[in-house]
Structure 1
Amino acid sequence: MTVDERNGDVVVVRDDAIYYYEIDGRGPCFAYDGPKSLVKCYEEYLAIVTPPQTTSNAKSSTLRRFGGSQAEDLFNTSTFTVLDTELQIVAHSESMVSQIQTLLDLWGDLYALTLEGKIFRYHEKTLDQRLEIFYQRNLYIYAINLAQKSGLDAQQQNVIFRKYGEHLYQKGDYDGAMQQYLKAIDSTEPSQVIRKYLDSQRIHNLIEYLEELHEHHKATADHTTLLLNCYAKLKDIDKLEKFIKSPGDLKFDLDTAISMCRQGGYYDQAAYLATKHGEHEIVVDILIEDSKKYGEALKYICRLDPESAYPNLMKYARVLLENCPKDTTKVFIDYYTGKYHPVLEVVVAETPQPEAGYAQNAAQAVQNLANRIPVPFRSDTPATQVDINPAINDVINLGDGTSTPTIPTYIPPRPRTAFSSFVDHSNDFITFLEACLAKDDVSESDKVDLYTTLFEMYLHKANEDDGHDREEWEAKAKTLIEGKDIPIDTSNVLLLSHLANFKDGSILVREQAGL
């Protein structure tokens, strides 16, 4: 029996095991079979002396024939063992001819005094030497435990994890090796591991490593590309969505992820990424160029603020007019007349209502339905911008007349900037021009552009149509130039009338000029 001076535990050794007794009661127990004559605690080690085994008379007589008492003493040796009970390993073991009388812990070393008067000093090896012994014997688990017990920092422990991973990889245990590489990910060059797992049969291990790289914010654009390619190869949409929708900070290169999703045909995922991170132009481009969802693209533009909506509307104006002419024209009119505002959805908290008659329930149902209609900038109800697709013409104002809707302030561009967008869409162009002229505060320069262009479009439609439609368009053109204070240059009227073979226009100009 002995006492561990570090913590006051009592150590009792018996023939079958080693028992620890703490202040609160019995502690851990370690099996170690064999007789024991002496025990001593030294630092975290436990030194044990095993007495020599007695030999039988027959064996003793045989030994005396081959050397007498010296030969008998050679086989009657005691064993000196140093155990590390925390790591559960034998740190040192040797056989001694002379029996040990006592063990001493002096000056940081362990001393053994034999019956012959000899003293043996035992000095602990350095940590690096002990780790190297474990490496040579491929005892990496013990090396890891020793490093953690000794308080090595994470970077030094990662070296052991990497060595252990390489050992398991050489043995063919690829899953086990990957677990060690993952533990050492902070201090390992990723390319060294990735090259080992590029084989398609180990693609799941590669995905696991690449995902962990992104979790530790150590991934580059190439790593993101490789990971998304792996998802695409396995056609694992669930993992792809889990990756791109992971909460927290962005863990990958956004442009690379969007590009790879688009190349792989995962347009919804690409649009989600672009929407989440405010890449409005990319969202519209995906909806139009990739998904061919022109209506969805226009609705998305209508949810943007004026500064963001305008460049997207102008960039894709012709495509949108080709596929959604009426709704696109309405958006143009709203924007150029200063009435544009983002489409928002009003979120109303529902409260349980007491039971009532049929009429009251019907009225309540209508009110609930009205509350869910998207309302632009309604100040008396909290509104949040969400991923919805309201119809363009369904945006109405449900204000009660007591509050003024807040309209975003922006300067409408000059109407002539939109003229080129309406090529081959003459009817929509005419609707746009007429709506712009209906404004009260149109500048003189814009009036000249609008009236002249509208007159030209009336004549263009008259030449396209025959019969009644032609007469109707010519009548509109004549009415336009008959008005007072019409800012159309006379030379332009004559030129356009001549080119369109519109005789009434030429005659009207001459009459007004007194010719």
Structure 2
Amino acid sequence: MTLHVSNWKRLSLYHKRDRTRCFNRSFTCVSSRESYIVAGYSDGSIHILKDTFENFQTLELPLKVTVQQIIWLSADSFVTLSSVPDHDSESNVIIYCYKLIREPATDSSRDEFVLVNEHIIAVREPPYPITAFDLSLDARTLICGFASGLVISIKGDFLRDRSLRLSVLHQLKEPVTNVKFDIQEPNLLYVATTGKLITISGKVVSVLDHLGVAMNCMDKFNTPLTRDSVSYSLVCARSETVSFIRANTLDSFLLFYGEKHYACVNGDILAIVFTPSAKSNSKGTVVPGIGYDKKSETLCRIMLLDIKQQLIVWEDIVPTHVAHVLSRGSKTFILTVDGYVQELEALSLQKELKLLTKRSMFDIALELAEQHRIPLEERRKLVLQYADYLFRQGSFSEAVKYYISEIQSCRATEICRKFLEVNEIGNLVRFLEALNFHLLASQDHLMLLLSSYIKLKRYSSIEHLLDKGGFNIMSAYDICYKSGLYEQALRLAKANGLHERVIDLLVEEGKYLMAIEYLKQMEPDVLESLLLISGHSLISNLPKETTELFISYYTGTYYPIRKEQKDTNLKQTKSAPYFLSLMPYSNPLVSLDGVIPEQSTHEDGVTKTPESAKTSLAELPNPQNCFHIFVQHIDCFIVFLESLLTKTNTEHQTFIATSLFEAYVRKSRNDISAEGAIYEKKANALLSESEVHLDLNRVFLISQILDFDEGVRYVQGKTGQMLDMFRSYCQKNDVNRALAMLRTHGNEVQELYTIMLNYFCTDGNVDGWEKEFQKVLQFVITNRLVSTPQLVDILSRSSSLTFGDIKQALRNMLRFFESAIGANGRQIEGKNRRIHAISEQLQILKSSAFVVQETVCSACGSELEPPVVHFRCHHSYHMRCIEDECPHCKWSSQL
């Protein structure tokens, strides 16, 4: 695998501080561990600093030899290595072991490193400096490589043993530049020279690569090169590449042009120092905004790479050669040959995350947040920001994955709206399904999910969602119905008791018989409203079946029929065919004693309810509510009303009978055939039946509107409207019936004589009826039914009457007037005498006192006491015992 570093993003994640001088120019090596930094010098001295670069201790080697290498055995012990010449052209390796001695006191200022052991090991080779070393994981094997190509192994306990075991591992022709143990295989050793790279495992020596590695350009590396790859053991920095070694193999490369002279690893960060030459400067990549003279040999470029995230996290130029790069936690120290230290401090986690999100590097920010376990709320916010970024970039599938991961805290409605705007229905469904799975979906979300399923034609998902429920049933039904999923809509309506919707859908599909069968399953308290809603359509297509259902309900003989199961044949007209079996509409009824009634099943699948388990309405419904259903269906209406009329419910019987009468009359008037006459006879029979109660006002109005005379006369006779009835006979010149009524009701309704007299006095009407005329005229005159001028006016209207016809009547009238005048005169004389007597009494009262001798109340019998009332009749009362009149004397009211 080969990666191009030039394609990596640059992101400055370090803050540079001012350079400080901490070492003399004569230092030869530097090493750090935990809280201490140790520098060795050519004069045999050791300078120890704390991790804050404060002076801690200075040591002098027993022998004034150059300190070539410093190796830490543990956090509080280290050794120095020096190769010095011997007397016989041989050399010795001098090892000094130092250990930190901690004082029992709490004052750490008294701690110090002391020399605890020293070893002088003879090497039968000419004296060459130690150019490379490495210590095994158990700190008991030290590998040293020399400039002569010699590789030796020194084993033992450096702090305790008096002598160590020396063995020569290999002799190379080129100078050894680097030696490293394999991290995963402790017995495998990598040795790099200026010309090749070999491995040593026991006595087996293998050439891994025929390209050498510069000194200090190889380091251990235990980090995956990418997020998905395995870990490596070593990293080697070369002029054009950075190679990674795994399992004794050069596996991956970074194309990275420029001569390197130093490379070290701190976690995921690889520090690369370029050789300060015109060639490397011309090929290398320069940080924007930083200029330098390409001819200058003292400028040195340094770069920090985050291998795992594939980022260039720092790039800078230092004014002189870099000797070492030390890492202390979040800080990196660049040590130059002049003794100066350049400190680079990593940005705080919050600043780093802010910078990463600003540069849209959300994946790195998320990994960093997870690694440092930042608060959950901040991590969720970061994930949602990343999801929004992916959405803006068009990576909808990745975006919805992150939205789902933080579904507990995301803005669900806003996210749904975003996916709808870009028509990403598939990803919208994924998000809504996750909401539903975590029980976070509202009814609106479920409706949106259902609509999305329908658009994607995922019928199995639609079925599953409808079975699960939790949404607004009416909204779900409307969506299925408008989308053409009639079967699902019907199934949903049946399962949730939306009977009106079931009937509407069946009627719309023309399944009228199925609608009738479904209505027969309804409970009585539900059936009426459904009949009133769907009755028009059903009776227009199935008049007989619909009328029978109306009759059974309104006569109280309706009982619901249970059906075990019945499949529908509805088809989807707007979507692909998809059929669901209907849930059985079953509702077992339990009798009062708790025993489930037996049911008998017939061949047609209908389960009939036994008589003992039947339920009906407590009282018959008002049939007037359904009369409008039978408009334009008068035959069905007559059958319906005839069935209702046999019931004894007197509350509605009058209305039913009157409506049936109207239906008969309308049918007879609309049908001029023999059948019309039959219905007219039925109307007359209905009038003549004494047990049938009719609304006479309605019958009269109907008869007048439809010109049904028998009805008019019937009402007039029943309601005592003799005058109207009598006038109708006179208008039709039906004298016989008029005279018959006059004889029967004349004494009760004397006005009939006046009407009859008016009729006879009309031109020509008296002919043939002279005797009857005389009787009528005599009765009118005798009973003074009209005044004399009115009588003269009535008689003067006829041109056929003679004086002889009315002579006797006039004579009788005059005698009557004479007797009446005499009676009136006698009454006047009596009244005058009474008035004269009363006047005399008044005169006596005006001239003399009125003596009251009563002492007790004439009403209660108790003794009188004021206030009292005295009447002229000599009766006295308490004021409380009477009101305005004397109870004993009627005439006292005239006082």
Shift of 1:134: 3.3
Cα distance change of structure 1 residues 183 and 336 upon mapping to structure 2, 3 Å threshold: same
SS in 2 for 1:34: strand
CA distance in 1: counterparts of 2:234 and 2:361, whole angstroms: 21
Q: Would you say 1:312 and 2:538 are equivalent positions?
A: no
Q: Would you say 1:212 and 2:428 are equivalent positions?
A: no
Shift of 1:309: 3.1
SS in 2 for 1:314: helix
Cα distance change of structure 1 residues 444 and 194 upon mapping to structure 2, 3 Å threshold: closer
Shift of 1:158: 0.2
Q: Find the partner of 2:552 among 334, 340, 354.
A: 334
The aligned amino acid for 1:33 is: V
Report what 1:144 is aligned to.
366
Report what 2:381 is aligned to.
155
Contact 2:697 2:715 in 1 (8 A): no
Shift of 1:282: 4.1
1:95-494 to structure 2, matched below 5 A, reads: 97-100=321-324, 103-105=327-329, 109-110=330-331, 112=333, 114=335, 121-135=343-357, 138-149=360-371, 150-151=373-374, 152-153=376-377, 154-166=380-392, 168-169=393-394, 187=410, 203=423, 205-206=424-425, 208-209=427-428, 212=431, 216=435, 228=451, 237-238=457-458, 242=462, 245-250=465-470, 258-259=477-478, 266-275=485-494, 277-288=496-507, 290-346=508-564, 377=589, 397=608, 399=610, 404-407=612-615, 409=617, 411-439=619-647, 442-465=648-671, 469-470=675-676, 472-474=678-680, 476-477=682-683, 480-481=686-687, 483-488=689-694
SS in 2 for 1:487: coil
CA distance in 1: counterparts of 2:498 and 2:464, whole angstroms: 15
CA distance in 1: counterparts of 2:324 and 2:404, whole angstroms: 49
SS in 1 for 2:183: strand
Q: Whose Rg is larger?
A: 2
Contact 1:49 1:100 in 2 (8 A): no
SS in 2 for 1:33: strand
Report what 1:387 is aligned to.
none
Cα distance change of structure 1 residues 213 and 436 upon mapping to structure 2, 3 Å threshold: same
Shift of 1:333: 2.1
Cα distance change of structure 1 residues 397 and 495 upon mapping to structure 2, 3 Å threshold: same
Bigger share in strand: 2
CA distance in 1: counterparts of 2:641 and 2:625, whole angstroms: 12
Contact 1:158 1:183 in 2 (8 A): no
The aligned amino acid for 1:161 is: A
Contact 1:225 1:256 in 2 (8 A): no
Report what 1:357 is aligned to.
none
Shift of 1:419: 2.1
Shifted more, 480-489 versus 331-340: the winner is 480-489
The aligned amino acid for 1:322 is: S
SS in 2 for 1:12: coil
CA distance in 2: counterparts of 1:507 and 1:40, whole angstroms: 121
Identity %: 20
The aligned amino acid for 2:236 is: G
Contact 2:272 2:303 in 1 (8 A): yes
CA distance in 1: counterparts of 2:633 and 2:477, whole angstroms: 34
Cα distance change of structure 1 residues 342 and 95 upon mapping to structure 2, 3 Å threshold: farther
Q: Deviations over 1:463-500 (max 9, x none)?
A: 45566645654555555455553323678778767857
SS in 1 for 2:692: coil
SS in 2 for 1:29: coil
Contact 1:460 1:500 in 2 (8 A): no
SS in 1 for 2:236: coil
Cα distance change of structure 1 residues 237 and 475 upon mapping to structure 2, 3 Å threshold: farther
Q: Deviations over 1:251-297 (max 9, x none)?
A: 5x766665565555555555555555544444444444x54444444
Cα distance change of structure 1 residues 299 and 92 upon mapping to structure 2, 3 Å threshold: farther
Shift of 1:162: 0.7
Shift of 1:110: 4.0
The aligned amino acid for 2:431 is: E
CA distance in 2: counterparts of 1:373 and 1:277, whole angstroms: 10
Contact 2:450 2:476 in 1 (8 A): no
Cα distance change of structure 1 residues 315 and 47 upon mapping to structure 2, 3 Å threshold: closer
Unmatched runs of 5 consecutive residues or more in structure 2: 1-71, 76-136, 139-181, 185-189, 191-217, 224-228, 238-243, 245-261, 281-294, 566-583, 721-739, 742-895
1:37-56 to structure 2, matched below 5 A, reads: 45=267
Report what 1:12 is aligned to.
183
The aligned amino acid for 1:18 is: F
Shift of 1:313: 1.9
CA distance in 1: counterparts of 2:74 and 2:502, whole angstroms: 73
CA distance in 1: counterparts of 2:504 and 2:715, whole angstroms: 49
CA distance in 1: counterparts of 2:322 and 2:630, whole angstroms: 109
Shift of 1:161: 1.5
Shift of 1:336: 1.9
CA distance in 2: counterparts of 1:411 and 1:73, whole angstroms: 112
The aligned amino acid for 2:324 is: I
TM-score by length of 1: 0.61
Shift of 1:94: 7.0
Cα distance change of structure 1 residues 494 and 255 upon mapping to structure 2, 3 Å threshold: closer
Contact 1:140 1:164 in 2 (8 A): no
TM-score by length of 2: 0.38
Unmatched runs of 5 consecutive residues or more in structure 1: 21-26, 60-69, 348-371, 384-389
The aligned amino acid for 1:129 is: K
**Alignment root-mean-square deviation, CA:** 5.8
Q: Would you say 1:29 and 2:231 are equivalent positions?
A: yes
SS in 2 for 1:424: coil
SS in 2 for 1:418: helix
